[in-house]
Amino acid sequence: MSLDPVKIGFIPLVDAAIPIIAADVGFAAEEGIALELVREVSWANIRDRLTLGHFDGAHLLAPIAIATTLGLGTIKVPLAAPLALGLNGNAMTMSPPLFEDIRRHMAPGADMADPRATGAAFRAVVENRRRNGDEPPTLGMTFPFSTHNYQLRLWLAAAGVEPDEDVRLAVVPPPFMVDALENAHVEGFCVGAPWNSVAVEYNLGRILHLGTDLVRRCPEKVLAVRANWLARNPELAARLVRACVRAAEWLDEPNHREEAARRLAAPNRLDVHAPIIQRALDGRLPTGDGDEIRACDSYVLFGADGATRPDPRHARWLHAQMVRWRQASDDPAGADLAAASYRTDVYDAALGRDAPQQADDPLGVFTD
């Protein structure tokens, strides 16, 4: 049997696990697909190579898929997300001096896992620096259209820190985040796994928050394809969705975590030590603050709790973040287009499942 070739671009991150496992454990081949994965160095490359047709699909930041569909800052090419590549996986990490500075400014008895409490302390740090005539902190995030950007802004704005005035937000590609912290180009960052744990491992950073402290079910990456590719290859797309869902279910098995970490660690995949990757899969992250370990079963979600089913309410929330931070105009048609790019129908049809009962609150944002 000859396999149908499908080429997918990815960035070295733990949430690229679904396509990596689909390709490397054989779920793609079981669906008659020769899945070729291409590691890329920038989100902009992945976006352009997807829109130009070099790639059939991409491990893509969900907000980029929406921005490209709407033509924000790039050529307008309608994309579709027939599958979410899981949920969550981010964390906020601060340099040890900034982490200590935040701790010093915490209200007595306040919980370091409470983003309102740490936000207030961070605001005090920023105000203190301003009074002393010092530079405001620079925080790293991965892309203007990224949940990392929005999570940082959510945390800052809730504490009354104006993200575009009181601090600097700088784009740093995920694999360079730890370097940027070491070279003091940033004093903290929000990035996906495994890069927070890499910073902790080298004693360059302390994890201040898991992404789940801010948003309990946060959209992250999607499997993005061109809308016209999906229209022309409905049957192939359905097989791709099934292969990915199988991979996600495989990833959910705790006794597969060691093998998953080993496979993700490969030089042509993430090229990071397997035990550091496994911290994310186990949802047990040493924070670097003494012996503290933050445990969270939903730190990164693959197949569990319907995490692969693209939820149009997530797309609407991401569009609302773009509007809030002046990346998109406040246009209901834009929000509708964003929601329509999440192809729940394609997902349900591929799996032959009825639409499941959905939770009332798809996100769980800490400010709501």
Q: Give the count of beta carbons closer than 10 Å to the beta carbon of residue 58.
A: 31
Using the minimum distance from each CB to another protein, give the nearer residue, 23 or 72.
72
- The three-class DSSP label of residue 149 is helix
Nearest-approach distance from CB 198 to another protein, in angstroms: 16
Q: Using CA atoms, how far apart are residues 26 and 32, in angstroms rounded to an integer?
A: 10
Nearest-approach distance from CB 334 to another protein, in angstroms: 16
Using the minimum distance from each CB to another protein, give the nearer residue, 72 or 243.
72
Using the minimum distance from each CB to another protein, give the nearer residue, 15 or 24.
15
Q: Which residue type, as a one-letter code, is found at position 307?
A: A
Q: How far is CA 296 from CA 76, 138, 212, 275, 284, in A?
A: 38, 28, 8, 17, 6
Q: Could you list the residues that contact another protein (CB under 8 A)? A: 41-45, 48-49, 52, 54, 71-76, 142-144, 164-165, 168, 170-173, 175-176, 183, 185, 326-327
Nearest-approach distance from CB 191 to another protein, in angstroms: 12
Backbone angles phi, psi at 221, to 5 degrees: -110, 155
Nearest-approach distance from CB 171 to another protein, in angstroms: 5
Nearest-approach distance from CB 54 to another protein, in angstroms: 8
Using the minimum distance from each CB to another protein, give the nearer residue, 41 or 266.
41
Structure tokens at 355: 């639409």
Nearest-approach distance from CB 331 to another protein, in angstroms: 15
Q: Which residues contact 358 (CB under 8 A, 6 or more apart)?
A: 306, 311
**What does the angle CA 313 – CA 222 – CA 248 come to, to the nearest 5 degrees?**
105
Using the minimum distance from each CB to another protein, give the nearer residue, 338 or 346.
338
Fill in the DSSP letter of residue 175. G
Using the minimum distance from each CB to another protein, give the nearer residue, 186 or 285.
186
Cite the DSSP H helix spans in the chain: 17-24, 27-30, 43-52, 62-70, 96-104, 115-131, 147-158, 177-182, 195-201, 211-214, 227-232, 234-252, 257-264, 274-282, 312-324, 332-341, 344-351
